[in-house]
């Protein structure tokens, strides 16, 4: 818990560490309720600084002994506070030994050492190591670790830590032990241990250099059969990183452990990744196609961190995007290569434009490299991760694949074994390519989403086409004035026959066919293309070449044209989204003003065309048929009215389904496959079939409902079962209750599947949902101490069910604030995240705005608030 106002940590205040740790020798006597941790640190004073005291971080540690160079200190020789142990100025070289007692069984924050299903595990990023032992808990202190774990062999037969096992045996008291040594110096946030009753799936990978690496995935015995996909994904990721980035694995063993209680997705601890079981366990009967993809992506992400994060790490936590933005970019490229590049891009851009833009336009906006924080755990954000990845993607676009690769080779070589900054990364790319990225660096320091205003003018007589492009970034908290950014702007000009025109700018000798990348560096540019005889339709920001809001005044007809003809798959999809968004916006106005709602003929024709002429990629088609989400539509509105958005969108879904019923049904049946397979092609067919089913279910027609029930009953895989159940969960018919009860009966013992069951009910737009969610908080399938359960029920309700969460009575807000306050003393990190939907209060129409702010104020006025929740609530209101 917190002092009066939490201290703000600032990037500009960074100073190097006064002492380095050369070696950390740790001993754990694992036990519940008490675990004893002995640490022996070999220290060296930083010769670059005047001598200063050694202040170790430590929280909730029962200190039993402290010694310097073998001599035990008396209490008057050190200062112990709530978070520090100050040993004064020590010799240039010395050893410090500490012995502490901790209580992992009481640790509900899931940071530090804790128990999950009775097994010990750790989470040290960002500052969890200080809850394990006294240590300089900062990423620029890198040490070699040896770790000895001892425990009761009956309860904890498996003892794991980072690096290679070097000794094991029995102790006189009947306990057993294993010693692990990690040869690579690392910051303590990459430390991990796991102990428990676990079984492993084993395999090997031979690196390009010919070394054989042991691969092990450790899970509870009941999950032994569910690790095949994770193992396959790991091997794919290892091979891909060698091929695309020239990065090989460096230890003899790579271990992954799955645990049910985990605050985030997974953690890249050196040689010993700890994963949320959601991103490891899969079987066709229990996991959907999306789950399979999520596993592949997260396994790859953590693996890629071995270089982007572990071998080269962050100097301080302000540099978090150095490892996260880069690693997300790497995992995005991997998934694009494993699946469909266009569909992957669409999904990532959807996430960015819906949720990162919301963050960037709200009270919690911060740069990709933040300048200040109170609680670093609050900065594992969409801005640091997703916008950070866009920044790296822009560098890739500006430098080209070869230039970028030369740059990353240089970065890894030059900074291997060091803790560095975002600036160091950009500088390595500059040095390798000779490019000047000084203006580009502003992407790291400037918050907010830039707006590009574009207009085009064709002069048929001069045969020129002039594109005028302006950029400006709106103010964000603490940054009233913004400077122009360096933006890669990819575009094509599409001729009337749907073919890209060759592009030649004034002064250039040759025309380039297809897409070209212009570079924006000023507040305004005019680009004059020559030899343009007919009026083209511009296809702008192809592949979504920069994380900006694009303003260009397309007509409906131009959007329909691009939707049908653009050679850029992303922009083809985006044109459809813009058209649908526009139609829904008009419907909202009609709804508000009490005019009758009518289906837009242009959109209907465009959708009919999509279904009649499906193209090769069924995934892409399925994606194109999906209307913009309610959350995305909200992000586009001022004075958000969630009810108007919901009703307009539902009207459109229903009207489209009514008009397209025969072809939707035909497509549904045509894409049903007799056997379940997992190829990209089969996944695409399933996806399209289920999107058709979703539309048809909007008809509230008994024949279709029967079809849906049949799909649910006969499904031999979770993708089809969930698609049917999700559609049923939205309609008030007896089949809904029956199917939900059946699903519960079948899967009650599988926690991950029960998460789906909770989330489906939480996201139903039926009027009784809030009451249902309240009831479910008392259901045995729910547990406030488990983050997956919290996200599945409460998180899904608050973030995935706008129309019910934003009930005009404010009952949804009251419920959320109550749950945040209930969770905060147990797990502040998850409580703070749960609160984020309320931080958007200023965006809503006046009634909801007041109610949301009222709940935030109530939260903020609560005594004993964690600094996590305090920071979010106070900034939201500030
Ligand atoms: N570095 C991990 C994410 C992570 C961050 C914090 C955690 O606990 C506070 C846990 C995991 C990743 O990017 O995968
Ligand atoms: Zn990461």
Q: What is the pLDDT of residues 155-209, one digit of tens each?
A: 999 999 999 999 999 999 999 999 999 999 999 999 999 999 999 999 999 999 9
Closest ligand 1 atom number to CA of residue 328 = 13
Mutation choice for ligand 1 from 110, 122, 125, CB with most ligand atoms inside 8 A? 125
**Which residue minimizes the CA distance to atom 5 of ligand 1?**
125
Is the Cβ atom of 268 under 6 angstroms away from ligand 1? yes
Tell me what pLDDT residue 230 has: 98
**For residues 762-783, b (16+ Cβ closer than 10 Å) or e, as one string?**
bbbeeeebbeebeebbeeebbb
Please, is 615 exposed, middle or buried when counting C-beta atoms within 10 Å of its C-beta (0-12, 13-18, 19+)?
Answer: exposed
Residues with CB in 5 Å of ion ligand 2: 324, 327
Angle at 115 between CA 112 and CA 118, to 5 degrees: 165
Is the Cβ atom of 376 under 6 angstroms away from ligand 1? no
Please state the φ and ψ torsions of residue 517, each to the nearest 5 degrees. -105, 115
Task: Return the beta strands (E) in 46-153 as ranges.
Answer: 53-57, 62-68, 71-72, 79-80, 84-89, 93-102, 112-116, 119-123, 143-151
In 3-state terms the chain splits into helix, strand, coil percentages (rounded to 5) of: 45, 20, 35
Angle at 706 between CA 700 and CA 712, to 5 degrees: 110
- Is residue 386 among the annotated active site residues? no
How far is Cα 694 from Cα 300, in angstroms, rounded to an integer?
31
- Cα 265 to middle of ligand 1, angstroms: 7
For 477, the token pair is 């908290």
For 117, the token pair is 């299903």
Tell me what pLDDT residue 656 has: 98
Closest ligand 1 atom number to CA of residue 126 = 9
- Cα 305 to middle of ligand 2, angstroms: 7
Mutation choice for ligand 1 from 264, 275, 306, CB with most ligand atoms inside 8 A? 264
For 820, the token pair is 């945040």
Structure-derived torsion over alpha carbons of residues 638, 350, 673, 230, reported in degrees to the nearest 10: -140
Tell me what pLDDT residue 2 has: 53
Please determine, for the modelled complex, whether the ipTM score is greater than 0.85: yes
Is the Cβ atom of 266 under 6 angstroms away from ligand 1? yes
Tell me what pLDDT residue 712 has: 98
pTM: 0.99
Task: Return the beta strands (E) in 421-507 as ranges.
Answer: 451-459, 464-472, 487-494
How far is Cα 646 from Cα 521, in angstroms, rounded to an integer?
40
Mutation choice for ligand 1 from 265, 267, 301, CB with most ligand atoms inside 8 A? 267
Is the Cβ atom of 265 under 6 angstroms away from ligand 1? yes
How far is Cα 720 from Cα 205, in angstroms, rounded to an integer?
34
Q: Check 97, 216, 302, 359 and give the catalytic one.
A: 302
Tell me what pLDDT residue 615 has: 84
Tell me what pLDDT residue 640 has: 98
Query: Pairing mode, if any, of strands 487-494 and 451-459?
Result: unpaired
Query: Pairing mode, if any, of strands 487-494 and 516-520?
Result: antiparallel
Tell me what pLDDT residue 84 has: 98
Is the Cβ atom of 267 under 6 angstroms away from ligand 1? yes
Among all ligands shown, which has an atom nearest to the Cα of 328? Answer: 2
Tell me what pLDDT residue 614 has: 85
For 128, the token pair is 């969890």
Angle at 551 between CA 548 and CA 557, to 5 degrees: 130
Among all ligands shown, which has an atom nearest to the Cα of 327? Answer: 2
User: Which residues of the chain fall below pLDDT 50?
Assistant: none
Among all ligands shown, which has an atom nearest to the Cα of 308? Answer: 2
Is the Cβ atom of 302 under 6 angstroms away from ligand 1? yes
CB atoms within 10 A of CB 340: 21
Please state the φ and ψ torsions of residue 154, each to the nearest 5 degrees. -75, -45
How far is Cα 104 from Cα 634, in angstroms, rounded to an integer?
43
Assess whether the previous peptide bond of 394 is cis (omega < 30° from 0). no
Closest ligand 1 atom number to CA of residue 302 = 14
**Which residue minimizes the CA distance to atom 7 of ligand 1?**
125
How far is Cα 613 from Cα 241, in angstroms, rounded to an integer?
37
For 34, the token pair is 């008490």
Is the Cβ atom of 331 under 6 angstroms away from ligand 1? no
Q: What is the pLDDT of residues 554-564, one digit of tens each?
A: 999 999 999 99
């Amino acid at each position: 818990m917190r002092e009066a106002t939490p201290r703000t940590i600032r990037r500009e205040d960074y100073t190097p560490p006064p002492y380095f740790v050369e070696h950390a020798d740790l001993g754990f006597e694992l036990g519940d309720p008490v675990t004893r941790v002995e640490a022996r640190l070999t220290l060296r004073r930083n010769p670059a600084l005047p001598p200063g005291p050694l202040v170790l971080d430590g929280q909730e540690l029962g200190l039993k002994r402290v010694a310097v160079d073998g001599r035990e200190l008396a209490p008057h020789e050190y200062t112990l506070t709530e978070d520090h142990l100050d040993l004064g100025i020590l010799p240039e070289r010395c050893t410090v030994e500490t012995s502490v007692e901790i209580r992992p069984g009481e640790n509900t924050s899931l940071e530090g050492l804790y128990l999950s299903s009775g097994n010990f595990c750790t989470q040290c990023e960002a500052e969890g190591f200080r809850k394990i032992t006294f240590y300089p808990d900062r990423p620029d202190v890198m040490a070699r670790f040896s770790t000895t774990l001892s425990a009761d062999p009956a309860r904890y037969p498996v003892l794991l830590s980072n690096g290679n096992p070097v000794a094991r045996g029995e102790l006189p008291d009947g306990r057993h032990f294993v010693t692990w040594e990690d040869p690579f110096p690392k910051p303590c946030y990459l430390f991990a241990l796991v102990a428990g009753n676990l079984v492993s799936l084993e395999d090997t990978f031979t690196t390009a250099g010919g070394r054989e690496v042991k691969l092990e995935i450790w899970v509870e015995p009941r999950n032994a059969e569910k690790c095949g996909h994770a193992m396959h994904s790991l091997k794919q990721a290892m091979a891909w990183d060698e091929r695309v980035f020239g990065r090989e694995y460096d230890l003899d063993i790579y271990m992954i452990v799955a645990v049910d209680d985990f605050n985030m997705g997974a953690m890249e601890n050196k040689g010993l990744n700890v994963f949320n079981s959601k991103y490891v366990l899969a079987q066709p009967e229990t996991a959907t196609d999306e789950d399979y993809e999520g596993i592949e992506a997260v396994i790859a992400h953590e693996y890629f961190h071995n270089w982007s994060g572990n071998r080269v790490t962050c100097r301080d936590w302000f540099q978090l995007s150095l490892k996260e933005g880069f690693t997300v970019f790497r995992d995005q490229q991997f998934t694009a290569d494993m699946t469909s590049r266009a569909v992957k891009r669409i999904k990532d851009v959807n996430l960015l434009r819906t949720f990162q833009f919301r963050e960037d336009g709200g009270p919690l906006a911060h740069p990709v490299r933040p300048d200040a924080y109170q609680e670093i755990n609050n900065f594992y954000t969409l801005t640091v991760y997703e916008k950070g990845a866009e920044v790296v993607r822009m560098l890739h676009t500006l430098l080209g694949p070869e230039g970028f690769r030369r740059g990353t080779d240089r970065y890894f070589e030059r900074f291997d074994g060091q803790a560095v900054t975002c600036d160091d990364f950009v500088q390595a790319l500059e040095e390798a390519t000779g490019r000047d990225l000084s203006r580009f660096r502003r992407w790291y320091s400037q918050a907010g989403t830039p707006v590009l205003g574009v207009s085009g003018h064709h002069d048929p007589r001069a045969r020129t086409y002039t594109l005028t492009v302006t950029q400006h970034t709106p103010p964000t908290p603490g940054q009233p004035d913004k400077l122009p950014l360096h933006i890669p702007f990819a575009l094509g000009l599409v001729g009337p026959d749907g073919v890209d025109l060759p592009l030649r700018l004034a002064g250039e000798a040759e025309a380039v066919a297809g897409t070209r990348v212009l570079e924006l560096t000023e507040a305004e540019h005019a680009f004059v293309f020559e030899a343009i005889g007919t009026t083209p339709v511009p296809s702008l920001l192809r592949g979504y070449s920069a994380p900006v809001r694009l303003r260009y005044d397309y007509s409906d007809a131009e959007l329909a044209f691009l939707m049908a003809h653009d050679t850029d798959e992303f922009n083809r999809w985006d044109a459809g989204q813009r058209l649908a968004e526009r139609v829904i916006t008009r419907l909202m106005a009609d709804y508000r003003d009490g005019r009758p709602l009518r289906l837009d003929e242009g959109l209907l024709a465009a959708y009919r065309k999509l279904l009649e002429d499906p193209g090769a990629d069924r995934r892409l088609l399925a994606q194109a048929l999906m209307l913009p989400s309610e959350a995305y539509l909200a992000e586009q509105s001022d004075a958000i009215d969630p009810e108007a958005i919901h009703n307009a969108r539902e009207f459109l879904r229903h009207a489209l389904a009514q008009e397209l019923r025969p072809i939707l049904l035909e497509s549904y049946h045509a894409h049903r496959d007799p056997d379940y397979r997992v190829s990209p092609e089969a996944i695409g067919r399933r996806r399209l079939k289920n999107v058709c089913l979703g539309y048809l279910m909007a008809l509230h027609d008994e024949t279709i409902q029967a079809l849906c029930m049949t799909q649910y009953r006969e499904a031999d895989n979770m993708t089809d079962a969930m698609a049917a159940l999700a559609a049923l969960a939205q309609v008030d018919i007896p089949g809904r209750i029956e199917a939900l009860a059946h699903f519960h009966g079948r899967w009650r013992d599988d926690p991950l599947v029960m998460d789906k069951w909770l989330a489906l009910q939480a996201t139903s737009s039926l009027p009784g949902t809030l009451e249902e969610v309240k009831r479910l908080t008392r259901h045995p399938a729910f547990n406030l101490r488990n983050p997956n359960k919290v996200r599945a029920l409460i998180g899904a309700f608050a973030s995935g069910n706008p129309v019910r969460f934003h009930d005009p009575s404010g009952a949804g807000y009251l419920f959320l604030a109550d749950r945040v306050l209930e969770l905060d003393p147990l797990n502040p990190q998850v409580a703070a995240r749960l609160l984020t939907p309320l931080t958007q209060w200023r965006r809503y129409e006046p009634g909801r705005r007041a109610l949301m702010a009222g709940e935030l104020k109530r939260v903020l006025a609560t005594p004993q608030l964690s600094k996590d929740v305090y920071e979010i609530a106070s900034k939201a209101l500030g």
